[in-house]
Amino acid sequence: MFSPMKTYHQLVDFASKYKNIVVALGMFDGLHIGHQKIIRTAAEQANRIHGTTFVFSFTNHPRAIVDSLGAPRRISSEQVSRRILRNLGVDVLVEIPFTPAFADTSPEEFIHLLYRYFSPQYVVVGENYTFGRKGVGTPQLLRGIGRRYTIETIVCASVLYDNVPISSTRIRTYIEQGDITHVNELLGYPFTMIGTVIHGQARGRLLGFPTANIALFEFYEILPNGVYAVTVLYHNHIYSAVANIGNNPTFGSCDRRMEVHIMDFDGDLYGKKILVSFHKRIRSERRFDSVDELISQIKSDKECAERALQETFHLQEKISMVI
């Protein structure tokens, strides 16, 4: 059983509250396996010195401030990210707003800020980590200046996939393509969304396949319209399910949403939060000429989803990262 992870949205005197602090630094959007390596390294080092594992990051993407094109959409929701951080052994998450004033901080000022508020024994970063005004700070600079404050720097090598470093940008490309297999391989866990079940038009129930409807938000990365084999976590139980993302073209357009048919479940989910993990893309969304044709296809989709989930190796182990 994991201890609750504490969260702060402002800088305070952490050094007086926690002992032997080890800080993982970065913008951990998506928490892919490269990010996990950095955070696990910090947690292992904190355990060795009987200390406290911190993650220091930002509530908004720095590109929202420094890039005229704005920030990319987030890969994981705040709720999913916090579950993963907890499961990686993080004791304290510090997320502050990235502001124009913070963007103007020099590398030296940033390192002094680390010393002032955290007084860490170690900081852990990836080899491509940058910091300070215009991102001119490097891990080598952090190591050199940090030693003046008795801060040791651990630099983690990038994790490669097909001989190319894993990155959030690369994962976003796979998400846009609907390539859930590669998305999940680079994340190290199933691409997951948490949503509150809303009222739909009850068409699924009338067709014999009741669905839980979840609204989609454009500030998060969303898979392309289509049908997917998924699992649903509700009340600590994992259910096999099939999900459709789209606009219901057979019945005329509607707001883009996710509809999830949960197998072997009979209950009222309205207003409840469920966690939906994606495992395989079954097909693209399409319009059907008749209701009977649609029902036949839904039956086929359900069978495909059941087979896909049975074939998923160590499914429980993979889902455990976000439970």
Instruction: Give the closest residue to 170 by CA, choosing from 293, 34, 64, 280.
Output: 34
Kindly state the tokens that stand for 119.
């007084």
* Maximum Cα–Cα distance across the chain: 73
Separation of alpha carbons 61 and 67, rounded Å: 10
Separation of alpha carbons 205 and 272, rounded Å: 18
Among residues 108, 109, 259, 293, the one annotated as catalytic is 259
Among this protein's residues, is 259 annotated catalytic?
yes
Q: Which are the contacts of 51, defined by CB distance < 8 A and separation ≥ 6?
A: 18, 19, 20, 21, 22, 45, 121
- The phi, psi pair for 107, rounded to 5°, reads -55, -40
- Find out whether 229 and 84 touch, Cβ atoms under 8 Å: no
**What single-letter DSSP state applies at residue 15?**
G
Separation of alpha carbons 12 and 2, rounded Å: 24
Residue type, 85: L
Residue type, 9: H
Separation of alpha carbons 132 and 142, rounded Å: 10
Q: Which DSSP helix (H) or strand (E) runs through 79?
A: helix 78-87
- Find out whether 285 and 244 touch, Cβ atoms under 8 Å: yes
State the catalytic residues: 259
